[in-house]
Structure formats: C-alpha cells, structure tokens
C-alpha cells in the first residue's frame, strides 16, 4: 500500500516541478523579445516619456527575477496583476469566465465519454461489420475536420431551423437548465471532435486484448462475445482507455478556445484570443498558466489512474 502512496507523491512532485518550469517559460517568453517590451508594444512613434512611464507601470524597471517571484506569488494567491487594455484586475476578468469554461468542458465530457466508450465497445464487438467500418470512417473524417467547420455545420443545420440558439450568451440570471440548452451546440461540437479519437482508441485497446490466451479460454468455454468483452477484455483495457479519456479531456481545454469564439461564449478562451489581438500579455500569461495547469493536472491524473488500474505496475520489482 505504501508503494502506491509514494508513487502518487512522486508523480505529484514531478507535476509540480513541470508546472514550475512551465510558469518560468510563460513568464520568461516575454524576455525573449529583442529590444524593449514597452517600446515594442507602444510602437516606434511613442515618445521616450510615455515609454518610461509604461515601463514603470509594467514594473519593467525591476530585475527579471524579482518580477518573476512577484508574479508567481501573486498568481498563487489568485492575483494576476492588471490588464493592459482596460486596467482592470485580471482576477476579476477571469473569475466568471473560468467557471463558464469549466461548465462547457464538463458538459462536453459528460456527453462524449459515455458515448465514445459505448461506440468503441460496440465497434470492437462487431468489428469489421458495416457499423464498425462506418464508425471508423466517420471517426477518421471528424478527426480531420477543423473545430470551426463542425461548429458552423451544426449552426447551419440545427440553429437554422430554430431548434437551438447559435449564440451561447450567459449572464448571472441564467438558470442551470437554461444554460444547458444554450450551450448545447458548443458542447455538441466539442463532443463530436473528441468522441472520434476516444472511440478509436477504445476499440483499438479492446481489440488488442482479444488475441490474449485468456480471451481464447473464455471463448472456448462458451461465453457470449458481449460477456467476453465486458467481463474479460474491458477491465484489462481500462488503463489505456483511462489515459485516452484524460488526454482527450486535456484536448478539450484547447478545443474550447475555438468553439468559444464561434459561439460567442464568454469563457477563458475568448478572453485569451481577444487579449492576443490587443497584445495584452499579462492576461494572456494568466490564462495560459491556468490552461497549462489544467492540462498538466489531467495528464498527471491519467498517469496515476492508469498505474492504479494495473496491479503489475504497482507491484513492480
């Protein structure tokens, strides 16, 4: 038992270290810019006085390591500094948007995970049938589609007829069921994009196992194909499936950016894209740090869960 805990503790430490280095990169990337950051943002026409004032405002007159420590300590307490574009505290800008983005991601995950597991198991069960081939071709196609194409097709088909709204507006008075209805199209877009990959990997993981001797044994003793897959193949395929699910949830984090822009959904992704265009780099850094942290956390969870689901990895010599 202590093995498991020390393994989890080691992974957690590694994850923290990764996050620390990522924060260094996210912060340090601004230092890569040749010349002066303030001058660069204000443009060549800015007078030396404005540049000097802007430098003081950004804290650029302090040495880089001091600024980094201040930034990181602030970020850990939820204080990301102020936006360059509208001078508001970044924490205020982020607060509601973060929960909106999480809501959309969880919604999409709740739709896509059961759907793709079911489709993957069915495709493995009826492999090489028409269903399997159609599901595979569809999966390959939807993997190759850009998110905004899927989104606009859905708008064209489903929002045209007035079934669902094409814009996902959210405000504090929106009730839960109302929110589910308004964000159905963005969630469906994300679902379609991730389901394909998860389904293919689930199918591959199960089919991989079907050649094992114990599956042969189960078949020979007269078990039905569905029982063979559910009772013998699925538990052993859990590790790769858990990994794929977590990786795809991590993928949702980036997919969310494009989808939020299409559906004018007030989330973190849209904030980030707006800030990139304005070169409002403190906001971009803050959002990038949040996205990266979520990404690292999900990958870490995948790692730990897949180890836990495989006794051979826990009791390794």
Window contacting another protein (CB under 8 A); options: 4-12, 172-180, 234-242, 251-259? 251-259
Nearer to another protein, 78 or 146 (CB): 146
33 binds another protein (CB under 8 A): yes
Answer for which of 155, 192, 215, 242 binds another protein (CB under 8 A) is 155
261 binds another protein (CB under 8 A): yes
Nearer to another protein, 237 or 256 (CB): 256
**Number of residues located near another protein, criterion CB under 8 A:** 54
Window contacting another protein (CB under 8 A); options: 86-94, 212-220, 231-239, 294-302? 294-302
Window contacting another protein (CB under 8 A); options: 93-101, 179-187, 240-248, 273-281? 273-281
Nearer to another protein, 237 or 283 (CB): 283
Distance (Å, rounded) from C-alpha 317 to C-alpha 199?
A: 34
64 binds another protein (CB under 8 A): no
The residue ranges that bind another protein (CB under 8 A) are 18, 21-22, 25-26, 29-30, 32-33, 40, 137, 140-141, 143-149, 152-153, 155-161, 166, 250, 253-254, 257-258, 261-262, 272-273, 275-277, 279-281, 284-285, 287-288, 291-292, 295-296, 299
């Amino acid at each position: 038992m202590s093995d498991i805990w020390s393994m989890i503790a080691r992974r957690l430490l590694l994850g923290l270290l990764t996050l620390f280095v990522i924060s260094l990169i996210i912060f340090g990337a601004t230092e890569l810019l040749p010349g002066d950051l303030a001058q660069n943002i204000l443009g060549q026409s800015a007078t030396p006085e404005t540049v000097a004032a802007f430098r003081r405002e950004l804290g650029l007159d302090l040495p880089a390591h001091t600024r980094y420590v201040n930034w990181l300590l602030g970020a850990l307490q939820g204080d990301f500094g102020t936006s360059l574009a509208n001078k508001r505290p970044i924490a205020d800008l982020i607060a509601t948007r973060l929960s909106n983005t999480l809501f959309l991601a969880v919604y999409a995950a709740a739709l896509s995970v059961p759907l793709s597991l079911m489709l993957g198991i069915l495709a493995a069960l009826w492999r090489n049938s028409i269903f399997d081939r159609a599901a595979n071709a569809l999966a390959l196609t939807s993997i190759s589609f850009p998110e905004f194409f899927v989104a606009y097709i859905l708008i064209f088909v489903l929002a045209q007829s007035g079934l669902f709204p094409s814009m996902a507006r959210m405000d504090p008075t929106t009730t839960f069921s109302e929110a589910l209805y308004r964000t159905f199209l963005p969630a469906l877009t994300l679902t379609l994009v991730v389901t394909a990959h998860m389904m293919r990997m689930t199918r591959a993981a199960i089919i991989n196992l079907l050649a094992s001797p114990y599956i042969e044994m189960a078949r020979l003793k007269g078990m039905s194909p569905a029982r063979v897959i559910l009772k013998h193949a699925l538990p052993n395929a859990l590790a790769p499936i858990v990994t794929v699910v977590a990786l795809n949830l991590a993928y949702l984090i980036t997919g969310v950016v494009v989808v939020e822009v299409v559906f004018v959904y007030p989330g973190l992704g849209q904030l980030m894209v707006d800030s990139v265009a304005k070169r409002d780099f403190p906001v971009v850094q803050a959002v990038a740090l949040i996205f990266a942290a979520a990404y690292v956390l999900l990958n870490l969870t995948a790692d730990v869960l897949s180890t836990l689901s495989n006794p051979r990895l826990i009791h390794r010599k």
